[in-house]
Amino acid sequence: MAYTITEKILLSHTDKKIIKPGEFIWAKVDFTLGNDITAPIAINEFEGYGAKKVFDNKKIALIPDHFIPAKDIRSAKQAKRLKEFAAKHKIVHYYEVGRMGIEHALLPELGLVKPGELIIGADSHTCTYGALGAFSTGVGSTDLAAAWITGHCWLRVPETIKFIYKGKLSKWASGKDLILYTIGNIGVDGALYKAMEFSGSAIEKLPMDDRFSMCNMAIEAGGKSGIIEPDDITLDYVKKHKGKKSKFKIFKSDKDAKYSEVKEYNVSGLEPQVACPHLPSNVKPVSKLKNVKVDQVVIGSCTNGRILDLRIAAKILKGRKVKSGIRVIVIPATQQIYLDAIKEGLAEIFIKAGAVLSTPTCGPCLGGHAGILADGEVALATTNRNFIGRMGSPKSFVYLSNPAVAASSAIKGRIAHPEEVL
Amino acid sequence: MIIKGRAHKFGDDINTDDIIAAKYLNTTDAKELGSHCMETIALDFSNKVKEGDIIVAGRNFGCGSSREHAPIAIKGCGVSLVIADSFARIFFRNSINIGLPIFELKESAKINEGDELEVNLAKGEIKNLTQNTVYKSEAFAEFMQELIQAGGLMKWIRRKQTTR
């Protein structure tokens, strides 16, 4: 029987002989994740069940990253619950402020998630690790508690949509632009319940950080997962981010695998894309939005807070100034990325340009803290969602873009194409 | 089980930030979350809603984040059931897992704001008492029915673990 990469990974995590889309499976999980918002509910469920032991203390990550460093007393209490639960159950992968990073940047960086694995996380952007050729999906807190007890998760085997990106990306277009373009094309429920398999010549050349951005936003099209077949770029990344786990398995889709749909795009000459309020599917090319003034620019998040993102932003901001009256918040996604930004001189470029460099946190992306918008304010962010009130006031506006567009817009004070600056 | 309540209508793509804004995610208390349910898009919703009332929405209800606070808030403000054309996948599984009844109904647009509905959960039958019509919701897959009948995921795994 011919299978997609997703079906192969799922099959390998059951005791079944065959598998087909639509079927429900009780799958073995390789790694689980919870944060300071979702894990407290999972802990309630775990303890309410009367469970005494977690299934494997090395396969659980607890990462306080959303409202952390704690923005208020209640957030501090939630983080404290994670810390206490981690101590009680000897959870190996608990990361305190100072070692912590945004979960979806941190886990791959530490080598905790590998190709061929099945990963669930109580966070919708868990789909990020599909970039490594893993099956990785967001679930709820109760799912997480059940996995802590049983080491398993119920899943419906998804149909797969294959996306083929042909052509060569232009200088200022990135993985973020490919995924925004795709969401704009298929809509916020265009891949509902489905796996999104990204392929084609443009993907083959895409660096890992861009692949993470793409798979990260599969959820914004309703997708269950995003996935890219491992290649030399993947293996090189995995080699550099080994961690303590060196074993993994490479899966690839069969040539005659069945897809529910195949979408083909020619992306040569694709302009950087911007998602306008209040849906990630409300996408326009940057050149159509040059009259949109911005009050705040955010460069960071699990979507675009990696070193490549910061390098591109710094390249544009180098020797230039953020327009007066504009706030620019740069958030390296992990401590390592922060350190690299300092070593490479990026930190200095940001600060000299008039931007702030924040400690790793999800912070403003979900309207938590460290960059909340007032009524009527407009933000351009490299984040993933622009729903009503997402970054603060229900009367504010969020536009989503890649880091190059964000940095250029910070200089111009309005949405700008990088070519207007460089 | 029969549920009787008034319909509160919402549109397409109601996301979890609409259902419960992130600023309230520093608590897990159902009543408190319920008091802010839908606040971003319908300021007085939690005051207007009566115990047993029903949310009726369009496509892709519950899209966005994985926050289980969303179905908890809906339950917490007294809503007994959500009917929508379709549900986003994490919201769907969260609702089933925590025992918030949800129904997929492709004709949800036919229901008007304030319509009195009488719903037979087991049969998937929705009687619109105001319009004097009956709708049949999409049937759940067998496995989902098993989860629903068990009363949610934790009760289901307890049964699974004790029968093994």
Measured distance CA(A308)–CA(A64) in Å, rounded: 24
Measured between CA atoms, the residue of chain B closest to residue A217 is: B64
Q: CA torsion sign, A88 to A333 to A252 to A242?
A: negative
Compute and round to an integer the Cα radius of gyration of chain A.
20
Query: What's the gap in Å between the CA of A319 and the closest CA on chain B?
Result: 37
pLDDT value of residue B161: 82
Could you tell me the residue range of the domain that residue B118 belongs to?
Answer: 2-139
B130 touches chain A (CB under 8 A): no
Tokens 């922060």 belong to A338
pLDDT value of residue B162: 79
Looking at the DSSP assignment, which residues form a beta bridge with residue A155?
A: A25
The answer to whether the Cβ–Cβ distance between A193 and B89 falls below 8 Å is yes
pTM of the model: 0.98
pLDDT value of residue A282: 98
Q: What is the ipTM of this complex?
A: 0.97
Contacts with A238 (C-beta within 8 Å, 6 or more apart), sequence order: A111, A114, A115, A132, A230, A248
Residue A167: what are its φ and ψ, rounded to 5°? 95, -170
Q: CA torsion sign, A257 to A263 to A268 to A272?
A: negative
B98 touches chain A (CB under 8 A): yes
Measured distance CA(A237)–CA(A245) in Å, rounded: 14
pLDDT value of residue A244: 84
Is residue A300 scored above 60 in pLDDT?
yes
Q: Is residue B24 part of a domain?
A: yes
Q: Which of B32, B75, B89, B93 to mutate: most A Cβ within 10 Å?
A: B89
B121 touches chain A (CB under 8 A): no
Measured distance CA(B6)–CA(A290) in Å, rounded: 46
The answer to whether the Cβ–Cβ distance between B27 and A45 falls below 8 Å is no
Task: Describe the strand order of the beta sheet including B54-57 as a list of residue ranges.
Answer: B102-104, B81-84, B54-57, B2-9, B116-120, B125-128, B133-136
Query: What's the gap in Å between the CA of B46 and the closest CA on chain A?
Result: 17
The answer to whether the Cβ–Cβ distance between B65 and A141 falls below 8 Å is no
pLDDT value of residue A195: 98
Look over chain B and give the mean of its residue pLDDT values, rounded to a whole number: 96
Query: What's the gap in Å between the CA of B111 and the closest CA on chain A?
Result: 22
B90 touches chain A (CB under 8 A): yes
B143 touches chain A (CB under 8 A): yes
pLDDT band of residue B164 (cuts 50, 70, 90) is low
pLDDT in tens, A196-229: 999 999 999 999 999 999 999 999 999 999 999 9
Please state the domain count of chain B: 1
Q: List the one residue out of A294, A163, A166 whose CA is nearest residue A217.
A: A163
Q: Which of A46, A387, A393 to mutate: most B Cβ within 10 Å?
A: A387
User: How buried is residue B118: exposed, middle or buried, by Cβ count under 10 Å (0-12/13-18/19+)?
Assistant: middle
B125 touches chain A (CB under 8 A): no
B42 touches chain A (CB under 8 A): no
**CATH number of domain containing B128:** 3.20.19.10
Per-residue tokens: B122 = 């087991």
pLDDT in tens, A23-51: 999 999 999 999 999 999 999 999 999 99
Q: How far is CA A176 from CA A159, A198, A271, A361, A415, in A?
A: 24, 13, 11, 20, 16
Per-residue tokens: A145 = 């508690």
CB A330 within 8 A of CB A357: yes
Of A49, A66, A139, the CB nearest to B90: A139
CATH assignment of A273-420, given 3.30.2320.30, 2.40.110.10, 3.40.50.800, 3.30.499.10? 3.30.499.10
Q: What's the count of helices (H) and strands (E) in chain B, helices before strands?
A: 7, 7
Average pLDDT of span B49-72: 98
Look over chain A and give the mean of its residue pLDDT values, rounded to a whole number: 98
The answer to whether the Cβ–Cβ distance between A389 and B40 falls below 8 Å is yes
Quickly list DSSP for A127-154.
Answer: GGGGGGT-EEEE--HHHHHHHHHHSEEE
pLDDT band of residue A107 (cuts 50, 70, 90) is very high
Q: Is residue B108 part of a domain?
A: yes
CB A384 within 8 A of CB A126: no
Q: Is residue B145 part of a domain?
A: no
Per-residue tokens: A257 = 């695998």
Measured distance CA(A389)–CA(A11) in Å, rounded: 40
Is residue B89 scored above 80 in pLDDT?
yes
Give exposure, B76-113, as e/b (b: 16+ Cβ within 10 Å).
bbbbbbbbbbbbbbbbbbbbbbbbbbbbbbeebeebee
Angle, helices B142-150/B89-98, rounded to nearest 10 degrees: 40
The answer to whether the Cβ–Cβ distance between B89 and A224 falls below 8 Å is yes
CATH architecture of the domain with range A5-264 = 2-Layer Sandwich (3.30)
Of B15, B66, B153, the CB nearest to A146: B153
Sequence ranges of the domains in chain A: 5-264, 273-420
pLDDT value of residue A120: 98
pLDDT value of residue A367: 97
Give the distance from CA A115 to its chain's centroid: 17
User: Chain A contacts of B21, Cβ < 8 Å?
Assistant: 367, 389
B68 touches chain A (CB under 8 A): yes
Measured distance CA(B50)–CA(B73) in Å, rounded: 14
Query: What's the gap in Å between the CA of A399 and the closest CA on chain B?
Result: 16
H or E stretch at B57: strand B54-57
Is residue B94 scored above 70 in pLDDT?
yes
B23 touches chain A (CB under 8 A): yes
Give exposure, A276-299, as e/b (b: 16+ Cβ within 10 Å).
bbbbbbbbbebeebeebebbbbbb
Quickly list DSSP for A370-392.
Answer: SSPBPTT-EEEESSS---TTTTB
Cβ of B116: how many Cβ atoms within 10 Å? 14
Q: Is residue B28 part of a domain?
A: yes
Query: What's the gap in Å between the CA of A268 and the closest CA on chain B?
Result: 30
B5 in helix, strand or coil? strand
User: Chain B contacts of A387, Cβ < 8 Å?
Assistant: 15, 17-18, 64
B154 touches chain A (CB under 8 A): yes
Q: CA torsion sign, B85 to B91 to B94 to B99?
A: negative
Average pLDDT of span A129-150: 98
Q: Which of B19, B32, B66 to mutate: most A Cβ within 10 Å?
A: B66
Is residue A349 scored above 80 in pLDDT?
yes
CB A54 within 8 A of CB A89: yes
The answer to whether the Cβ–Cβ distance between B67 and A138 falls below 8 Å is no
Domains A5-264 and A273-420 share a fold: yes
Give pairs for B132-141: CB < 8 Å, separation 24+. Answer: B135/B105, B135/B107, B135/B110, B135/B111, B137/B83, B137/B103, B137/B104, B137/B105, B138/B103, B138/B104, B138/B105, B138/B106, B141/A22, B141/A24, B141/A156
Is residue B163 scored above 80 in pLDDT?
no
Q: List the one residue out of A165, A157, A135, A160 whose CA is nearest residue A258.
A: A160
Average pLDDT of span B10-14: 98
pLDDT value of residue A248: 97
CB B34 within 8 A of CB B77: yes
The answer to whether the Cβ–Cβ distance between B13 and A189 falls below 8 Å is yes
Query: What's the gap in Å between the CA of B163 and the closest CA on chain A?
Result: 14
B163 touches chain A (CB under 8 A): no
Of B28, B90, B154, the CB nearest to A146: B154
A35 touches chain B (CB under 8 A): no
CB A27 within 8 A of CB A14: yes
Is residue A185 scored above 90 in pLDDT?
yes
Q: What's the count of helices (H) and strands (E) in chain A, helices before strands?
A: 14, 18
Query: What's the gap in Å between the CA of B94 and the closest CA on chain A?
Result: 6
